[in-house]
Amino acid sequence: MLIIAAFFLAPIAFMVVASFKPERVIFDDLKTLAGAFLPTQATLGNYEAIFDRVPIPRFIFNSLFITLTTVFTGLVVNSMVAFALSRMRWRGQGVVLAAVVALIIVPIEAVAVPMLVLVNEFPWIDGSTSWLNSLHVQIVPFIADAFSIFLFYQFFVGIPRDFDEAAKIDGAGFFGIYRRIVVPMSRPVFATVAILQAVAMWNSYLWPLMVTRSEEVRPLTIGITAFYTLNIQWGQILAFATIVTIPIILIFVVFERWFVRSAMSSGIKG
């Protein structure tokens, strides 16, 4: 396992180390394996260059705002939908669950153009007649997520209904059961969904590329694409890639314990 882990971590380690090297040193150090992974001549020149050439702080803010807002609202919305499907009884419940499962296999590429047509016609609270070239167009369409709903549903159905009956005897309604019983007992699956949604939103590329036009609303993934078209050096590209990669790794490290617990308790594989 350590060998496999080292194999997959090697490109990330090389990227981080090389981002602190001058352009010439990066290629000179590739002559030896040790030199490629050691900071022989550390410098912050690559990071200073990209901060001077593009609005990195704005890109970082956009990515963080889009990711955190989508994850937080998605946890609330998707968990409530899953609660209604798993803990309540209502007409058409099976049809809705089947639709949710079917939507899991539909990729964003299949619905991107219809979504683009729709959001182009939607008004916003500021009086604009289109959602295009905004932050909310990168958030709202992805709050409800079929796979997240299914993960919540799979976990919620495993919670004994005896808790629900006891809460009802104490006078709790469905929202009280959700907030006081189901949510506290489901922290592992909340962490799992948070990680998966955060990774998906942070790495989102196709949709932001289609709906954004200005640097004011671009996330990091689109910013690095535009940056790559400039007359730049590989050290600067690796520095930009490091800025894009490190935050999502930190998110996983923070929630990794809960992610593993959720996989073990709910039978999630892969």
**What are 193-207's pLDDT values in tens digits?**
988 899 899 999 999
| pLDDT of the residue at 270 | 39
- Helix 56-87 to helix 220-228 angle (10° resolution) is 140
CB atoms within 10 A of CB 92: 8
Nearest CA among 236, 237, 255, 155 for reference residue 196: 255
pLDDT at 98 > cutoff 90: yes
pTM to 2 decimal places: 0.85
77 in Cβ contact with 144 (< 8 Å): yes
Does 111 or 165 have the greater pLDDT score? 111
47-56, 77-86, 166-175: segment of lowest average pLDDT? 166-175
Q: Give me the chain's average pLDDT, please.
A: 87
pLDDT for position 261:
64
Mean pLDDT computed over 2-9 = 89
Show the domains of the chain with their CATH numbers.
65-217+256-266 (1.10.3720.10)
Looking at per-residue pLDDT, the higher value among 259 and 252 belongs to 252
- The rounded percent of the chain whose pLDDT value lies above 70 is 94
pLDDT at 225 (0 to 100): 82
The residue among 170, 184, 182 whose CA lies nearest residue 88 is 182
Ramachandran angles phi, psi of 49, nearest 5°: -65, -45
CB 104 within 8 A of CB 146: yes
pLDDT at residue 248 in the model: 83
